[in-house]
Amino acid sequence: MHEYKQNQCKKKVKNRKNVVGLIIFCITVGIVFLYAYYQNLRKEIDARQKWLETDGKMGIYRKESGKLIYKEKVDSEDGYLGMYLFLMGKYLEKTENTDLPEYWKKGISLALKKIQSLMRDGITQVSEENTTAYLMDNLEVWKGLHELELAGLEDTQAISEMRKKIQAQIENIFWDDANQRWRIIGNSDLYDQIEFYPDGVAQIYPLIYEFPVKEKKKQKILYDQFTEKFQWQKLNKKRNGFLWAMTGMAAAQMGDINNLVELIENYETEYCENRKYPLYTGEAGWICMECEKLYRLYERKIKTGFILCA
């Protein structure tokens, strides 16, 4: 029995060494991407700030000769506004600084007013002209409000009230109980099982944005189905036309270390010295957050390992 316990402990020590090696990998990749990401985060916010017109509407701009040139109206105002607030909240969280420039404060105020004007029955629609309500857009708005609420700005109560309204309605409007899946559009049950986007991605979007689903087991089922069907961790851009690094956030919420590590390794391969794929700030940002989540998962694993060995 004593020899058996020794062997078991040796195995645990070996496993712990493997975990430590993975942590070192995670930290190395994380530091590289975090440095690049937070160097550019303020620039990204400044760029999006200029997208806000005086009435809070947003447009698509292109940088030409060093200047942002308005090209066209965005396809989903609510989603863009949600992402703007999400970036702002993350910046405030990481810098622990609420003493913002006045034009940033004005931008936040305009964004909040615009989101409020787009809300109908507790959820947001695409724009004043387009009354379509998308699950993904509403989750982006919810997350933006949530991050801003955590930052503790002066109008936290108003932000909290808006966030709570959307949170209360997302499952009521978008959960299709008969088919046990998420609706892409609030008033439609259309769903194509072989389409990665938006049909497939929509099923794990609540996980990606850490939305508090009431029955967590149903989200695990959807995650397992999504992974089996689409093998998202392989980053098959030929099939999807985009890397979709954000899918790794769903893995982080599920504690799926193996697939998350594979995604990060594949992402690193895509961005080798002679890469052909353009580096998107947004994708780099998701990878940074996933590395941070992965580090926490490893920490938990090590602590559990020590307890078991003891």
Read off the pLDDT of residues 56-77 as tens digits, 9 standing for 90 and up: 556 777 778 877 777 777 778 9
Q: In 10 A of CB 83, how many CB atoms? A: 20
Angle at 302 between CA 290 and CA 19, to 5 degrees: 65
pLDDT(28) > 80: no
CA gyration radius for the chain?
21
Q: What is the mean pLDDT of the chain?
A: 82
pLDDT(35) > 60: no
Percentage of residues in the chain having pLDDT higher than 70: 75
pLDDT of residue 163: 96
145, HSE (Cβ side, Cα atoms, 13 Å): 28
Q: Which two tokens stand for residue 52?
A: 């806000």
Distance CA 222, CA 170 (A): 17
**What stretches of the chain show up as alpha helix (H) in DSSP?**
2-51, 77-95, 102-118, 135-151, 156-174, 201-202, 205-208, 216-230, 237-240, 247-254, 257-270, 281-309
Distance CA 103, CA 106 (A): 5
CB of 298 closer than 8 Å to CB of 260? no
CA 40 to chain CA centroid, nearest Å: 17
CB of 286 closer than 8 Å to CB of 245? yes
Q: DSSP string of 140-208? A: HHHHHHHHHHHHT-TTHHHHHHHHHHHHHHHHHHHEETTTTEE-SBTT-----TT-IIIIIHHTTHHHH
Structure confidence by residue, pLDDT tens digits, 244-300: 899 999 999 999 999 999 999 988 887 766 665 566 778 888 998 999 999 999 988
Assign residue 197 a region: left if phi > 0, alpha if psi is -120 to 50, beta otherwise?
beta
- Per mean pLDDT, which range of 18-32, 204-218, 235-249, 250-264 is the poorest? 18-32
Q: In 10 A of CB 117, how many CB atoms? A: 15
Residue 307 pLDDT grade (very low, low, confident, very high; cuts 50, 70, 90): very low
pLDDT of residue 9: 47
Residues 6+ apart with CB under 8 A from 40: 281, 284
Distance CA 165, CA 138 (A): 11
pLDDT(158) > 60: yes
- Mean pLDDT calculated for residue range 170-176: 96
